[in-house]
Each structure stands twice: as structure tokens, then as C-alpha cells.
């Protein structure tokens, strides 16, 4: 995902199953990390149906990683950890 310097926008992922079986998102958190793996920001993410989002103010290139707790139709608990690469337009390294 590409940001302009100083830009804030929603970032997120949509979840689904291969066979369209139902599931419930129980909770989600995020970590925004720089290219060295240091945490820039973290907190709770918003879930709505099958989507998880966060409003992100990207300040450095890095990655946005979600930790999403779900329960499938059989009552099995699982955690998913999708990750989004974050780029900043015109970024030059100091």
C-alpha cells in the first residue's frame, strides 16, 4: 500500500474461506513496524463482518501486520496474521 508523506487512510484486509463456511471475528489487533522491525504504532483494529481495518498514519516504510482471532462454524478457535507492505511516495533514507 502506498502513502503520500503525512497521509492518513484506512488499511485493512478481508477474510474468507475456500468453501464459504461461516466464521466469526472475535477480535483484532495491529502492529505497524518499520523496515528494521521496530514497532511504530500498535493497537486494536476494527472488525466489521469479514473485514478488519485500521486508520493508519504512515510515517516510514515498513509493514502493517494484523493478528485476527476467529472462530469457525465448528467452534474451533484460530488466529490469522495477514501482513501489508507499507511504502511512502518519494521516501529517501536519511
Q: What is the pLDDT of residues 54-76, one digit of tens each?
A: 999 988 999 999 999 999 888 99
How far apart, in whole angstroms, are the C-alpha atoms of residue 8 and residue 3?
Answer: 8
Domain ranges of the chain: 2-88
Which class is 2-88 in CATH? mainly beta
Q: In what order do the strands lie in the sheet with 51-57?
A: 8-14, 51-57, 46-48
Each residue's pLDDT tens digit in the chain (94 positions)? 999 888 999 999 999 988 988 999 999 999 999 989 999 999 999 999 899 999 999 889 999 999 999 998 889 999 999 999 998 887 765 5
Amino acid at each position: 500500500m502506498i502513502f503520500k508523506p503525512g497521509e492518513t487512510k484506512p488499511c485493512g484486509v478481508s477474510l474468507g474461506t475456500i468453501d464459504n463456511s461461516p466464521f466469526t471475528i472475535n477480535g483484532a489487533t495491529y502492529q505497524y513496524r518499520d523496515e528494521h522491525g521496530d514497532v511504530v504504532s500498535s493497537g486494536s483494529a476494527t472488525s466489521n463482518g469479514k473485514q478488519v481495518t485500521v486508520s493508519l498514519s504512515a510515517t516510514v516504510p515498513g509493514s502493517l501486520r494484523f493478528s485476527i482471532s476467529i472462530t469457525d462454524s465448528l467452534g474451533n478457535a484460530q488466529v490469522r496474521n495477514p501482513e501489508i507492505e507499507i511504502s511512502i511516495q518519494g521516501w529517501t533514507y536519511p
